[in-house]
Structure 1
Amino acid sequence: MYQEDSYIKEFEATVLDVIGDKVVLDRTAFHDGEGGVQADTGYLEAAGARYRVKAGREGDEVVHVVEGQHSLKPGDVVKGVLDWEPRYRKMRLHTAAHMLSAVLYRKHNALITGGEITPEYARDDFSIEGDMNTVRRAFEEAVAEVNELAARGIEVKVYWLPREEALKIPGITKLAERAPPNIPVLRIVEIPGVDVQADGGPHVRNTAEIGQVKILKIENRGRNKKRIYYTV
């Protein structure tokens, strides 16, 4: 559901399957943690009971891993409630991450070699060459540009394209070692004039929601691998 509307905080769904502590629903707004964005947490409510859950993935299914004992069974109607504040921070950081990768790709031909987005911070590894003074300057200039672009209040577009058509777009993925999933239709996240990427995760609707991106730390992780930690 978050692929259509990342702002859904509560929803109703039906339990399809239960495997121990893992509950599969017919629909969900919980992000499963794919793509380096930390999985969502929250609650499932049913029949007067409230169960703490964290989302995950088992094969092709999003699962909701329940803390402790539960009595959920197939056919039960549940209410899902997301922990909204951490989810929204991840959305802000996720959109900022797309903008940062776009600026570094355009200016330095840098690709992402690893990363993680949590509610508190994001980290990205980039294939960028040079000594640490040069790299630090490149990161600082890129973050300054991201802040200037974000402040313009650019509307973020989400749409779907056939895979073959999407792969013709330059820079449709900025991951060094990972191609878009081998599915016939790809979800595209576009920040007009800044970035176009195939992406399955939740984002903000407008770049103004990001706020100010602030560098926390920069590290040398080896040749062609420089890490930046940042927050909003």
Structure 2
Amino acid sequence: MEELYFDDCYLKEFDAVVENVVDERYIVLDRTAFYPEAGGQPHDIGFLYCAGKEYPVTGVRKADGKVYHEIGKAGLNDGDVVRGVIDWDRRYLLMRYHTACHILSSIIHSETGAKISGNQLSEDKTRVDFSLEEFDREQLKAYEVKVNDVIDRNIPVTIETMDREEAFGIPSVVKLKDAFPPEVLNIRVITIPGVDRQACGGTHVASTGEIPHIEIFKAENKGKNNRRVYLRFR
């Protein structure tokens, strides 16, 4: 199936054909712009339209190489032609949070050497987990200033798909080598020149200038060498 969000994060609507319906509520399409929950980014929501009827998309997940769209009511059948429309305001908010998360993660890593161990986006905040023994809360304000400086510089964000060998030639990507099984031959790389370059399957904005200023409003110790910071838009 064709995952349209990989190549065009700004695609809001698309046409597709229903390939399979599971238990009347889980729809597999031949192509989709709906992002399935993965990598700390929540799934998209929206609607599928067919023959004048509206089917709410309430969940999206990927399994066995297929993207399953959970709809709020039964009625779609194999072979139906549908129009997909994602909830753009929500998607765009998550895109901005995701790119902001990359910026903050890169700054924390460059300042402390800490490895980023996870992140989770939501509609009102995002968090970043990283491994660090000492936790300097005063330094968080300096990180915030640096993130907002990157935002103000309106740096283009590029997305490219590379073959495995080329991607693993990038120092910031090769560190994640073990996360990619051997059958993964192409790797998607997100680049913010001079700031960050890493493998990522999520959706991102085209320029840092699209992101509102952030504030780091909370910090937690989550156990030995495990630290967590939360950011939100001002």
CA contact (8 A) 1:18 1:73 kept: yes
Q: Residues 180 and 208 from structure 1, CA distance in 2 versus in 1: closer, same or farther, beyond 3 angstroms?
A: farther
* Contact 1:159–1:189, Cα closer than 8 Å, also in 2: yes
SS at 1:15's partner residue?
strand
Alpha carbons 1:156, 1:192 under 8 Å: kept? yes
Alignment partners' CA distance in 1, 2:164 and 2:96: 26
Partner of 1:66: 71
Aligned to 1:82: 86
1:13: which partner in 2? 16
The CA distance in 1 between the partners of 2:180 and 2:199, in whole Å, is 7
Amino acid at match of 1:66: I
Task: Report the number of matched residues.
Answer: 227
> Which segments of structure 1 move beyond 4 Å, counting only runs of 4 or more?
none
1:173–1:198: 8 Å Cα contact kept in structure 2? no
5+ long unaligned stretches in structure 1: none
**1:53-202 map, 5 Å:** 53=57, 54-67=59-72, 69-130=73-134, 132=135, 134=136, 136-172=137-173, 179-180=179-180, 182=182, 183-202=184-203
Identity of aligned residues (%): 41
Which secondary structure does the structure 1 equivalent of 2:202 belong to? coil
Question: Pairwise CA RMSD of aligned residues?
Answer: 1.6
**For 2:66 and 2:172, how far apart are their aligned partners in 1?**
29
Alignment partners' CA distance in 2, 1:115 and 1:173: 19
Deviates more, 1:5-14 or 1:111-120: 111-120
Checking the alignment, whether the CA contact within 8 Å between 2:167 and 2:174 is kept in structure 1 is no
- Alignment TM-score, normalising by the size of structure 1: 0.93
Give ranges in structure 2 of 5+ residues lacking alignment.
none
Query: How many angstroms apart in 1 are the aligned matches of 2:64 and 2:140?
Result: 36
Aligned partners of 1:6 and 1:204 also within 8 Å: yes
